[in-house]
Amino acid sequence: MEIVNFKLNNVVVVIIIDPINLQGISIDALKEKGYAQIVVDPNAIIFKNSKGLESGLIQSVRLEFNSGGVKTFESKKFISFIMRALNVIPKLSSKFLGINYFANTNIRNENNAGNYIKLNLLANGPKLEEKLNAPVISAATRIIFGKQDDFLDIRLFPPKLEDPNLGIQFHSHKKITERKDIKEELERRLNSELDVFLNKLSVL
């Protein structure tokens, strides 16, 4: 698959953690760290970067950080946004780190992305059409590879029928048990992981 006009739209980081008490998180400390528009309810704390588009969500067993788009995306700035929030959470114990990249692209010399997936990535397409007693006019696919505690996940889908545009979601998943390892892993992955995904995509 030779991709052209690749466009990264958004980056979302998810950290699965051991249960925490949301009441133990200081709202004043979040404000001091540069967060604004803080909303607190019994199940979550939602906040935004006072000087950017980034946003965050703290739940008892899940943390989510959204880059807010990538027109101004800088991995160093995004990592700083994440780490400032983590430092406010007392006794944080992590389990897994997930990074999601949302993008769109085109396939060179292909006017129908869904048909490309059907012809090249859908196993036994003709037999499937026979079972369905109808033609398959488009398809999407998901490929997961790696190890159980450290894997990559590629999802390809056509946002519209008979359209050259191909929607992409790249996801990486790694077991992380120490707070101190999160920053290092974020720096390594956010600075190089997208190239790894694109190289994998090129062989499909």
* Distance (Å, whole) CA 23 – CA 85: 15
Query: The domain containing residue 122 runs over which residues?
Result: 3-202
How many domains does the chain fold into? Answer: 1
pLDDT (mean) for 158-176? 92
User: Measured between alpha carbons, how far apart are the two ends of the chain, in Å?
Assistant: 5
Q: Which of 144, 192, 188, 181 is nearest to 15 (CA)?
A: 181
Per-residue pLDDT reduced to its tens digit, 88-132: 998 888 899 999 999 999 999 999 999 999 999 888 878 888 999
Q: Pairing mode, if any, of strands 94-107 and 165-175? A: antiparallel
**Phi then psi for 172, rounded to 5 degrees?**
-115, 145
Per-residue pLDDT reduced to its tens digit, 18-57: 999 999 999 999 999 989 999 999 899 999 987 778 999 9
* β-sheet bridge partners, residue 47: 56
**Residue 203, pLDDT above cutoff 80:** yes
* Distance (Å, whole) CA 47 – CA 69: 16
pLDDT at position 70: 75
pLDDT (mean) for 57-71? 91
